[in-house]
Amino acid sequence: MAVVVVVTRLIKRCLLVMCLLCGAVPTLAGVLPDDRADALYHSYDGGGVEITGPSVLVLKKVGQNVALSGNYYVDSISSASIDVVTTASKYSEERTEYSAGADYMHGNSIMSVSYTNSEEDDYQSDTASFGVSMDMFGNMTTVSLGYARSWDTVENNNDPTFSKDVDRQNFKVGLSQVLTRDMIMEVNYELITDEGFLNNPYRSARYVDPNSSIGYSYEPEIYPNTRTSNAIAVRSIYYLPYRAATSEATVAAYAEYRYFDDSWNITAHNIEIGYVHPFPAGWVFEGRYRYYTQDAADFYSDLFPRQDSQNFLSRDKELSKFTSNTIGFTVSYDFVQNGWYAIDRGSINFAYDHILFDYDDFRDLRDTNAAVGKEPLYDFSADVAQVFVSIWF
Amino acid sequence: MTVRIKSTSLFMVACSLLLSACASVEPWVKPYERAHLADPIMNFQRNPVSSSYMTHVYQAREGARGAEGGHGGGCGCN
């Protein structure tokens, strides 16, 4: 009850701040996003999991002050992950997501609403969001506020009577600032609260069992039914003059740092650096590197000492201590640069990222010869590829 | 009581100074100096569908979530 009261107060305060900001800032000139359409095909292959599917985004202005957007996204999943191989059997499923949104520009502020529906055979999610952003101080500063609420339903394919709810709320504050004629920096903060059934109904925790022939047994995971997390990220992009041997060109370099913590005692940090280099004749190359590290949740263990050893139990490797490293690139080619019929500009793009996951406390149970709790630590790599076409009209 | 009145007064003065400072802020990067900032390569969300997909890839495999950006905004260069 106390949580509801606090959250209601927070919502009221956010709405009050939004109204004050909307009313207090003199009208200058906001900018709606350009009309564009993107069609993307994605492929993820790693750790025994293959996920492919399309994503289509269309964004179109209606009149001078309104922009509408729609997104269709599919994940076709075939999973024989380490969890599935050791405790269940291979499965396939599909997740389909539809989103619709509208932006309304009034003076120097843009108000946005959106709705997203995601469906798979054992998980449904609906999300409504509202946001406002304002340019101020001669369009050098953009402040944004956002609120989203999700209503999820978790089901279990092995138990038709199983149905649990999850409610989620997101509060966002952002600041984008022009620092120099060559540099922009933005800071974003997001608070997320969850309440309901937060674990995976299929996953199990492992405990030492002297009565088992393999030395351990499994029991259902038990998570707390609330979670609150904080994330703050700082990003910056810098425009670099670059003098090549034969001609002058320009490149951009960017960097990001994010800090995360939550009420489950997970602390995470990630940094990303990247480099965008346009070449003559419409080619653009981008290279990037990302490092991520996190600590384990309080109630995570690869191997609990006995059955029911504590109130909350998890052996989800995403809640364990691990690091990941990603190296990737995107190559883009502008096949329409100066207009062609109704198309102002068009590009075809290929992106590839290679991710290495190294777990510090999640063991590979496929090695059945090792002593219990002494199995080798698990690691895997994933290949992520995207092909997409973008058209501006 | 005196301390409370003094604190309130100081707070009001600080707020007034802050507001007057905001009102007189001059953009130190003039509109005609923003050609570099308006270049498409300077957009944090240059490929929104691709960025959104990669956010989903990481969120599904990491404990961390949130503050991924994509709030809109921009540099007001257009």
Q: What residue of A is the nearest CA neighbor of B76?
A: A139
Which chain A residues contact residue B67 at CB under 8 A? Answer: 172, 188-190, 231-233, 258, 260
Supply the pLDDT for residue B23.
52
The string of DSSP codes covering A305-358 is: SSTT-SS-BB--GGGS-EEEEEEEEEEEEEEESS-BTTBSEEEEEEEEEEEEEE
Out of A38, A181, A386, whose CB is closest to B37? A181
SS3 string, A24-43, reads HCCCCCCCCCCCEEEEEEEE
Q: To the nearest whole percent, how much of chain B has pLDDT over 70? A: 56
Supply the pLDDT for residue B7.
59
Neighbours of A320 (CB within 10 A): 22
- CB distance B76–A388 less than 8 Å? no
Query: Residues A256, A235: contact at Cβ < 8 Å?
Result: yes
Q: To the nearest whole percent, how much of chain B has pLDDT over 90? A: 27
Amino acid, res. A368? T
Length of chain B, in residues: 78
Which chain A residues contact residue B37 at CB under 8 A? Answer: 178, 181-182, 184, 239
Of A110, A93, A92, A109, whose CA–CA distance to A101 is shortest? Answer: A110
Asked whether the CA dihedral A366, A369, A370, A372 is positive or negative, the reply is positive
Task: Point out which residues pair with A382 in neighbouring strands.
Answer: A46, A355
- Taking the C-alpha atoms of residue A358 and residue A301, their distance in angstroms, rounded to an integer, is 16
Is pLDDT above 50 for A137? yes
Amino acid, res. A257? Y
- CB distance B69–A112 less than 8 Å? no
- CB distance A140–B27 less than 8 Å? yes
Amino acid, res. A193? T
Radius of gyration of chain B (CA): 21
Supply the pLDDT for residue A223.
97
Of A25, A179, A177, whose CA–CA distance to A108 is shortest? Answer: A25
Q: For A70-80, what is the mean pLDDT?
A: 94
* B75–chain A Cβ distance below 8 A for any pair: yes
3-state secondary structure of A364: coil
Which chain B residues contact residue A384 at CB under 8 A? Answer: 54, 57
Supply the pLDDT for residue A87.
80
- Distance from the Cα of A318 to chain B's closest Cα (Å) equals 5
- Distance from the Cα of B1 to chain A's closest Cα (Å) equals 29
Please tell me the pTM assigned to this model.
0.86
- Taking the C-alpha atoms of residue A328 and residue A187, their distance in angstroms, rounded to an integer, is 24
Percent helix, strand and coil across chain A, each rounded to 5? 10, 65, 25
- Taking the C-alpha atoms of residue A112 and residue A102, their distance in angstroms, rounded to an integer, is 6
Is pLDDT above 50 for A338? yes
Query: Residues A221, A317: contact at Cβ < 8 Å?
Result: no
Question: Residue A282 carries which DSSP code?
Answer: G
- Taking the C-alpha atoms of residue A76 and residue A226, their distance in angstroms, rounded to an integer, is 30
Out of A133, A140, A231, whose CB is closest to B72? A133
Q: For A231-244, what is the mean pLDDT?
A: 87
Helix count and strand count (H, E) for chain B: 2, 0
**A163-203: pLDDT as tens digits:** 999 999 999 999 999 999 999 999 999 999 999 999 999 99
Q: What residue of B is the nearest CA neighbor of A29?
A: B76
* B19–chain A Cβ distance below 8 A for any pair: no
Q: To the nearest whole percent, how much of chain A has pLDDT over 70? A: 90
Of A112, A84, A260, whose CA–CA distance to A189 is shortest? Answer: A260
- CB distance A284–B76 less than 8 Å? no
The string of DSSP codes covering B32-78 is: GG-TTTTSGGG-TTSSHHHHHHHHHHHHTT-S---------------
Task: Point out which residues pair with A257 in neighbouring strands.
Answer: A234, A271
- Taking the C-alpha atoms of residue A35 and residue B11, their distance in angstroms, rounded to an integer, is 46
Of A34, A41, A59, whose CA–CA distance to A350 is shortest? Answer: A41
Is pLDDT above 50 for A25? no
Is pLDDT above 80 for B25? no
* B76–chain A Cβ distance below 8 A for any pair: yes
User: What is the number of CB-based contacts under 8 A between chain A and chain B?
Assistant: 174
3-state secondary structure of B55: helix
Supply the pLDDT for residue B19.
54
At residue A4 the predicted structure's pLDDT band, cuts being 50, 70 and 90, is very low
- CB distance A319–B53 less than 8 Å? no
Cβ neighbors of B39 (< 8 A, separation 6 or more) are A239, A250, A252
- Taking the C-alpha atoms of residue A56 and residue A40, their distance in angstroms, rounded to an integer, is 6
* B24–chain A Cβ distance below 8 A for any pair: no
Q: What residue of B is the nearest CA neighbor of A72?
A: B49
At residue A249 the predicted structure's pLDDT band, cuts being 50, 70 and 90, is low
